[in-house]
Amino acid sequence: MTCGETLVAELRRKGFRVTPQRSVILETIAHKSGHISVHEVYLEARERLPGLNVATIYRTLESLQKAGMIDLLASDTDVARFSLRDAHNPHTHLVCRECNQILEVGTDVIARSAREVERDTGFVIDIDHLTLVGLCKACAAAERSMPHR
């Protein structure tokens, strides 16, 4: 996990201004380090910075995305989620369509297929922040033992 301080420095280095709000938001994200929703960040960050506004979170996230420091997760379920980009640990997200749980696997499993797709179509898959939808182990088991509908 990257520490908040380093992240703040990175943000400044990339030409963004560092405000208390941005620091707290960044530290919150670094601390939670998962697949966080805007609301989750809001609740936690506001404890440290009471006046903090949701709009600021959205705008900060936009900046962080421009700075290439976070990734948005593609998903049709639930609200928008994002995660800190971690160059040391690229991974693929497995989103369960039943329980919304998010698992991670290394990108290596998918890498070969991705290269094949690129060779065939020229399409370059964002392998470092890929989101695959399906059923987690538990929900898949439940599905098998349940009548549908």
Partner DNA sequence: GTGTCTGCAAACCCTTTGCAATTTT
Partner DNA sequence: AAAATTGCAAAGGGTTTGCAGACAC
Catalog residues that contact a copy of itself under the rule CB under 8 A: 15, 66, 68, 72-77, 80, 94-97, 103, 105, 109-110, 112-113, 116-117, 120-127, 130-137, 140, 148-149
Supply the minimum distance, in Å, between the C-beta of residue 127 and a copy of itself: 8
Please give the backbone phi and psi of residue 96, each rounded to the nearest 5 degrees, phi first. -80, 125
* Residue placing its CB nearer to a copy of itself in the complex, 50 or 122: 122
Query: Using the rule CB under 7 A, is 45 a contact of DNA?
Result: no
Which of the choices DNA, a copy of itself, none does residue 16 contact, using the CB cut-off of 5 to 8 A by kind?
DNA
Q: How far is CA 41 from CA 37, 74, 97, 147, in A?
A: 7, 18, 23, 38
Query: Using the rule CB under 7 A, is 59 a contact of DNA?
Result: yes
Structure tokens at 82: 């994002």
Query: Using the rule CB under 7 A, is 69 a contact of DNA?
Result: no
Q: Residues 3-42 vs DNA: string with x where CB under 7 A?
A: ---------x---xxxxxxx--------------xxx---
What is the secondary structure of 34-52 as a DSSP string?
SSEEHHHHHHHHHHHSTT-
Count of residues touching DNA (by CB under 7 A): 25
State the amino acid at position 64 in one-letter form: L
d(CA 79, CA 73): 10
d(CA 102, CA 34): 9
Binders in 81-140 for DNA, by CB under 7 A: none
